Structure 1
Amino acid sequence: MANEKSFTEKTSADSTSIGFEYQYYYFLDRLLNLKPGQSVGLEVKDDVHTALNADFNILVQLKHTVQNNAKGDPIALTELDSDLWKTLYNWSQVISDSAEGRGSHVAQQRFVENTRFHLVSNKSHSRSNQLLQIVDRYQSGEEDFEKLLTHLKSLKSKTGDDSIKGYIEAVLQLSPDILEIFFRHIRLELELDDIIGRVKASLLAKIIDNDKIETVFARLDSNIRTDNFIAIKRGESIVISFDDFMKRYKRIFDDGRTKKLVYPRFTPELPDDIFAQKFIKRLLEIGDITDSDEELAIDYTTYKLRISRYLEQWVQEGDLVRDEIESFHEEVFVRWRNEFRVAFRGCIGPQQIIDAAMDLLMTLRRDQFSLGETELTTTLSNGELYYLSDAGQIGWHKDWSVNEQ
């Protein structure tokens, strides 16, 4: 009973989800390796396909397993593996698809001659997989096709699985000369487990600095996922050409090669009590926000947390060094001090002091500060003001430092 799975575990989509992710990241890697005139599609002609020109295609089926062997490695691909035969079956149906104009022998022959069929999986090689060994020898010219065909027919009687038997029968429905070309054009890539690592290696080959790989990967991943979602909602097929890819995403690669600072995506974890923060209290005391402006307080907090996170990350990734950060804080502090020293001259009553404090705040909010060669956005510049205020270094009210005690 200890190994019995719960209902939730049985219905979990984890294994299905990782299969979709595996497929998507392979698609992303193919995008990164496109050449001019080529295109890549996701779940159009196959799981993934690459069109090398108008007539020549590479169809890719991807199979990911979460099952491991005794050593903890992904299980092997056997010659009666359901993944293998479901893939061969799918391709046989594509080859003979009359709806695509391939009902005739001539059309099927033309199609298989101009197509390569790739099975990609994280499953491992098996020395006992006689089928793949025979296919290898056939493709290298060491074995004739009759030996391969005889072995294919023998496998049907070796399995007791009706589904696999049906797949084998469907494949054998193709005429022998079509099968001969088909099996000559099959390629297997096994033991591809670290698909994300491959994507990052492809980014490195794009002359992206190693310390920018994570940022470029995250931005590219996020933007392509969003664009794919929008395309699907519109009922469009996901097919991206080399020209489309360069036009849509070239800026991400340019940012990955520039010395200008790049803003990685970041969703901050907000404090439990937004209004307990020092910088929020400094804004409350001059009436910039009220206790009911929670959404605005959240926005300001996000700006503060974002600049804090970016400064730390830029140092960790080698884009900046600590003394540059210190000089940046000092520059913003001096700007504030210069404005603060003249802001309250001539103020008499409490209301004039509040008005002057608001003018001071608005003046500095309009500033866009620079860090190295990069002019920061307004949100990050404002975030720096809130960061220094939260650290107790600047304030807005004439008597803010007294209230800080």
Structure 2
Amino acid sequence: MSTIQDQHTAGPIAIGFDYQFYYFMYLALELKHGQKIGFEVKDDVHIDREDGTTVLFQAKHTIVKNTDGSLQNLTTLDADLWKTLSNWATFIKTGNTNSDFLNKHSFILVTNKSENNNDFINSLSLFKVDENIDKALEKVIELENKTKDETLKKYLKNVSSLGKRKLKSFLLKLTIETDVDEIIEKIKNRIFENIRQENLIDAVFEKLSSNLQLAKYTDIKERNKFEISFRDFNDKFGKCFKAAYENKPLPKREFPILLPDDLESQIFIKQLLDIGEIQSGSKEIRIYTTQMLKALNNFSYWVDENFVLPTDMDEFKKNSIQIWVNEFKSKYRQIERQVNSGSLIEDLENDIKNLGVDLIDCLRKQDLFIPSYPSLGIEHSNGHYYALSDKLEIGWHFDWESKYKV
């Protein structure tokens, strides 16, 4: 019973259809402006080009393996090969105007089978160099006489009956691609070429695959042709690529935090101590240091792992410093006028310290963001400002540059 079930399983047929669909998806990802791709309309797959010509694709898949574990070869008398060529020969014969059909169509057979010194493919390669149709036709007739399989004889005879002129045009426009396997991996590589972000390939693949499958099912169910133009692909399926470009939070990692031995010797802590925002020995010193190191660790991680471009980090830094510049000017405008009028900074120290605390309170409310990403969150934003002040790129005291820069 199991043997009969094995013989009648739909698995190999189903995977053959899947192979055709994934090959369609693979080609759709490289569709050019003015082109249209179809699935099971003019052939397994076809592409209508802007110049009025059409490429017909037949996709053949096998799961049969040789004794060494390799996939079945595309033999010289392979049934899939000659059935395909016979079908195309029939297309040529039954076209409205035969010569016009050949002028406007080219033919590509794609298979995951290996070539392995296929005699016909070798003859086809030689024909494309010397264009000797007599030799090519002789090879087809030789194979027709060689096989005892009546079905194969019928396929071969149909091809040879095209006659020399049409057969020559057909063979010149025929391509046979073997070893086209791992089709899903090829699709993902093509997606990668589009989005340039390896960590988002699977998300885009899943969205695109499911939406194309749904569109195919709906169109065929409603007896419509499943065809997609370049514009259709962008309009209907462009959103599948949104995962690569939409604003999503940057991944935050918990790195080990190694606090320095002398926390109060850090420049950013000295600045906070000097304006009276914290007191020596307070627990906030450890909290602020931890926030700064968390931010620095994640910034380095995002750049190293290519989540963020260095140019985006530069823009982020410039923007955050500009926020500080604006707030600094706003807080200290009156102090600056007094100093310019002759007042001594030492005499204004109490007001400066109070304004310095107001300044940092204002900056702590900023929820910063890196271009193309949503907010960092308050903790990382605060940590970033602590890091800037530790590097003496910003300060809190009105006279911070003179006090801390050597």
Gapped runs of 5+ residues in structure 1? 263-316, 321-370, 376-405
Q: Which one-letter code corresponds to 2:33 in the other structure? A: P
Are the aligned partners of 1:211 and 1:318 in contact in 2 as well (CA < 8 Å)?
no
- Aligned partner of 1:41 in structure 2 is 38
**SS where residue 73 of structure 2 aligns?**
coil
2:112–2:180 Cα contact (<8 Å) kept: yes
Matches within 5 A, 1:67-106: 67-97=64-94, 102-103=95-96
Contact 1:39–1:239 (CA<8 Å) still a contact in 2?
Answer: yes
- In 2: Cα distance, 1:32 partner to 1:49 partner: 14
Deviation track 1:180-215 (CA, whole Å, cap 9, x = no partner) reads 000011101110110001111110111241000000
For residues 208 and 218 of structure 1, the distance between their equivalents in structure 2, rounded to whole angstroms, comes to: 17
Q: Which residue of 1 aligns with 2:195?
A: 207
Q: How many residues align structurally?
A: 259
Out of 89, 94, 99, which is 1:109 matched to? 99
Residue pair 2:200, 2:243 contacting (<8 A) in 1 also: no
Q: Give distance in 2, aligned partners of 1:220 and 1:21.
A: 15
Report how far residue 55 of structure 1 moved: 2.4
C-alpha distance in 1, partners of 2:233/2:249?
23
**Deviation digits for residues 101-125 of structure 1, max 9, x if unmatched?**
x25xxx2112112211000000001
CA contact (8 A) 2:44 2:59 kept: yes
Contact 1:51 1:57 in 2 (8 A): yes
Report the 3-state secondary structure (helix = DSSP H, G, I; strand = E; otherwise coil) of the residue aligned with 1:70: coil
1:263-304 per-residue CA deviation (whole Å, 9 max, x = no partner) reads xxxxxxxxxxxxxxxxxxxxxxxxxxxxxxxxxxxxxxxxxx
Contact kept, 8 Å, 1:261 with 1:319, in 2: the verdict is: no
- Counterpart in 2 of 1:30? 27
- Aligned to 2:195, the other structure's residue is in SS state coil
**How big is the shift at 1:259?**
3.9
Q: 1:209, 1:257 within 8 Å by CA — same for their partners in 2? A: no
**Residue number among 159, 162, 169 corresponding to 2:157 in the alignment:** 169
Tell me, yes or no, if the aligned pair for 2:133 and 2:164 is still in contact at 8 Å: no
Instruction: Give the match for residue 66 of structure 1.
Output: 63
In structure 1, C-alpha distance between the alignment counterparts of 2:56 and 2:151, rounded to whole Å:
23
- The 3 A distance-change label for structure 1 pair 223 and 111 is same
The structure-2 alpha-carbon separation of the partners of 1:259 and 1:166, relative to structure 1 and needing over 3 Å to count, comes to: same
Q: Is the Cα contact below 8 Å between 1:26 and 1:195 reproduced in 2?
A: yes
Q: Cα 1:191–1:222, aligned 2, differ >3 Å: closer, same or farther? A: same
Structure 2 distance, partners of 1:248, 1:261, is 26
Residues 286-342 of structure 1, C-alpha deviations (whole Å, 9 max, x = no match): xxxxxxxxxxxxxxxxxxxxxxxxxxxxxxx9989xxxxxxxxxxxxxxxxxxxxxx
Separation in structure 1 between the aligned mates of residue 172 and residue 199 of structure 2, nearest angstrom? 42
Deviations 1:343-365 (A, max 9, x none): xxxxxxxxxxxxxxxxxxxxxxx
Query: Contact conserved, 1:134 with 1:148, CA < 8 A, in 2?
Result: yes
Distance verdict in 2 for CA 1:185–1:168, change over 3 Å: same
The answer to whether 1:119 aligns with 2:109 is yes
Structure 2: distance between partners of 1:47 and 1:76: 21
Match of 2:52 in 1: 55
Deviation, 1:93, is 1.3
SS in 1 for 2:194: coil
Structure 1 residue 5: Cα displacement: 5.5
Q: CA contact under 8 A between 2:112 and 2:179: conserved in structure 1?
A: yes
Q: Match of 2:128? A: 139
- Structure 2 unmatched ranges of 5 or more: 251-304, 309-368, 376-406
Rounded Cα–Cα distance in structure 2 between residues aligned with 1:88 and 1:261: 53
Work out which of the residue numbers 207, 230, 237 in structure 1 matches 2:225. Answer: 237
Contact kept in structure 1, 2:203 and 2:243, CA below 8 Å: no
Identity %: 33
**For 1:140, what is the secondary structure of its paired residue?**
helix
In structure 2, distance between residues paired with 1:318 and 1:36? 31
SS of match in other structure, 1:41: strand
Residue identity in the other structure for 1:66: I
State the 1:14 CA deviation: 0.3
TM-score (norm 1): 0.61
What is the TM-score normalised by the length of structure 2?
0.60
Distance change (3 Å), C-alpha of 1:250 and 1:93? same
Segment drifting more, 23-32 vs 143-152: 143-152
Amino acid at match of 1:110: D
Write the distance in 2 (CA, Å) between the matches of 1:319 and 1:228.
34
In structure 2, distance between residues paired with 1:47 and 1:253 = 26
- Mapped to 2, the partners of 1:119 and 1:251 lie a distance apart of 32
Q: Distance in 1 between matches of 2:30 and 2:170?
A: 25
Contact 1:112 1:182 in 2 (8 A): yes
2:186 maps to a residue whose letter is R
